[in-house]
Structure 1
Amino acid sequence: MDRLSEMEAFATVVDQGGFTDAARKLGVSKSAVSKHVSSLEARLGARLLNRTTRRVSPTEIGLAYYDRARRVLNDAGEADALVTSMQSAPSGLLRISVATDFGVNRLSPVLGAFLSEFPDITVNMVLNNRYVELISEGFDMAVRIGDLEDSTLRARKLTTTAQSMIASPDYFRKYGRPQKIDDLTEHKLLHYSNQSGGNVWKVTAPSGEKRQIRTAGWLSVNDGQSLLNAAISGLGIAYLPAFLYADAMARGLVEDAIPDLPAETLDIYAVYPPGRFTQPKVRAFMDFLVHEFGQKGPTDW
């Protein structure tokens, strides 16, 4: 006789308080439930239930066995649900948090293709540059750029983007081009206003030394596209990721301020809550992102 069936019959008798209600719950005969429980007691060599004409209750041993058996049955149910879920078509609401610059400039233009491929998924995309607590704030996943903070989240690398100091040819004609890192202090710099460390640029010198450039900027704004527009207009030098400036650079609207510096790169990740399996809608979206962006970068955008 199947061990799991014996466990299920016994646990249902305890849950329902009797054989008749247990049989009704399981959709089998009362005699079948009784045979399963008797077989279980015989196999274990212990009495698990106290039987009277009015009620059925677990013995002390039976109560201890019930606690473990119920865990096993719950795990078995989750295993069945997992297989069903993984074989089902991705569907449902997908709530994602995305860094603003990447969301506006790179993700928004391709969302239509994803929704066309998976019509049973609806997307709620929230754009912000703060650290979002995925689980407590109800997000299924997030797209983050740069070093990941230590956490229990799982991560999948999507691609890499270069990061460079750029300005317009008009700016360089008017103010000259910096030849080395120290020259930046004499130039008009354009900063992100939402950086936790303030107006600091972290760059690598030709020697490999990591340098921090701290200087007040001519303009600070919390949006990368606005910084790019300012750089194109000749207002100063901006330090931006390639997925923002690549098109403008290809059109000659901006140039690398100090081309001889070692390349700086930022990794782009999809992060999602830990778990024993990934929801089909999340897995489908991550696969889509890898397909869309995996062959791009660091400068090819």
Structure 2
Amino acid sequence: MDRLTEMEAFATVVDQGGFTDAAKKMGISKSAVSKHVSSLEARLGARLLNRTTRRVSPTEIGLAYYDRARRVLNDAGEADALVTAMQSAPSGTLRVSIATDFGVNHISPILGEFLHAFPEITVNMVLNNRYVELISEGFDMAIRVGELEDSSLMARKICETQRRMIAAPSYFEEYGRPERIDDLNEHKLLHYSNSSAGNVWKLTAPSGEQRQVRTAGWLTVNDGQSLLNAAVGGLGIAYLPSFLYAEPMRQGLLVDAMPELPTDVQGVYAVYPPGRYIQPKVRSFIDYLVEAFRDKGPNDW
């Protein structure tokens, strides 16, 4: 007899508490279930079940075998489900968390093409600037910029961006250009309030030394686009990613405040909960993003 069928019959008897209910669960006769269990016990050379006229219960050996058998059966079920899922068209609701600045400027414009390519998928895109807990908050995946804090998540790099200090030419005409990192203490800085580091810029000097700038800013706001607008308006120096400043810099609306400083290159990642396989809807969206951003970054946006 088939070993997996014997294991399934035994485990179902334990789950259901008897042969009759196990037979109903499996859709076979009671005698067939009994034959499978007897064959299993004979092959193992051990009694797995205590049988009385009123109830059936596993022996000590049977209980230990049940724990392992149930794992095997669950794995077999997952394997079957995996094959079915991988052969079926991606479908269902994809709930994804995306940092507001990146989502508005670079994901929203390309969503239509993805939805037309995968009509069975519906997207619930949540734009926010906080760190969400994927599993507990019910997200299938997230797109995050910068260093990944949670190493337990699976991640795939989509592209790269870089952060630089930028300001309008009119600002430098009025206040001068900083020549050294220490000179920033005398300038009007535009801060991002949602940064985990607070109003602190972590910069790398030309020597490679890591420096921190703690100067209070003229403006603090929790939105990168607003900081960009303020910088274009000549209100001060902002420290922003290239996916925000690249276009206005090409137009001459912004310039690099200290071009001699090394750039801070950051990855843009798709992250998703760990598991034995990626859901087709998640895989299809990540593959789409990797292709869509193939020629982007770190400074070319």
Question: Do both share a fold (TM > 0.5)?
Answer: yes
Tell me which residue corresponds to 2:280: 280
| 2:156 counterpart letter in structure 1 | R
Task: Output one character per residue of 1:52-85: Cα deviation in whole Å (capped at 9) or x when no partner.
Answer: 5565444443344333322322221122112222
Tell me which residue corresponds to 2:27: 27
Describe how 1:42-191 pairs up with structure 2 within 5 A: 42-51=42-51, 55-191=55-191
Distance in 1 between the 2:297 and 2:24 partners? 61
Tell me which residue corresponds to 1:252: 252
The gaps in structure 1 that reach 5 residues or longer are: none
CA, structure 1 residues 221+36, in 2 after alignment: closer, same or farther (shift >3 Å)?
same
| 1:287 counterpart letter in structure 2 | D
Of 75-84 and 226-235, deviating more is: 75-84
CA, structure 1 residues 59+165, in 2 after alignment: closer, same or farther (shift >3 Å)?
closer
How far did residue 244 of structure 1 move?
0.1
RMSD: 2.0
Residue-pair matches, total = 301
List, as ranges, runs of 4+ consecutive aligned residues in structure 1 with deviation greater than 6 Å.
none
Task: Output one character per residue of 1:87-107: Cα deviation in whole Å (capped at 9) or x when no partner.
Answer: 222111111111111111111
Task: Output one character per residue of 1:196-225: Cα deviation in whole Å (capped at 9) or x when no partner.
Answer: 333221111111111112212111111111
How far did residue 149 of structure 1 move?
1.4
CA, structure 1 residues 36+202, in 2 after alignment: closer, same or farther (shift >3 Å)?
same
Structure 2 residue matching 1:98: 3-state secondary structure? strand
TM-score normalised by structure 2 residue count: 0.92
The gaps in structure 2 that reach 5 residues or longer are: none
Task: Output one character per residue of 1:119-169: Cα deviation in whole Å (capped at 9) or x when no partner.
Answer: 111111122222211111111111111111143112111111111111112
CA, structure 1 residues 162+37, in 2 after alignment: closer, same or farther (shift >3 Å)?
same
Structure 2 residue matching 1:11: 3-state secondary structure? helix
Distance in 1 between the 2:30 and 2:246 partners? 73
Distance in 1 between the 2:135 and 2:110 partners? 26
Query: Percent same amino acid at aligned positions?
Result: 78
| 1:290 counterpart letter in structure 2 | V
Tell me which residue corresponds to 1:233: 233
Of 49-58 and 24-33, deviating more is: 49-58
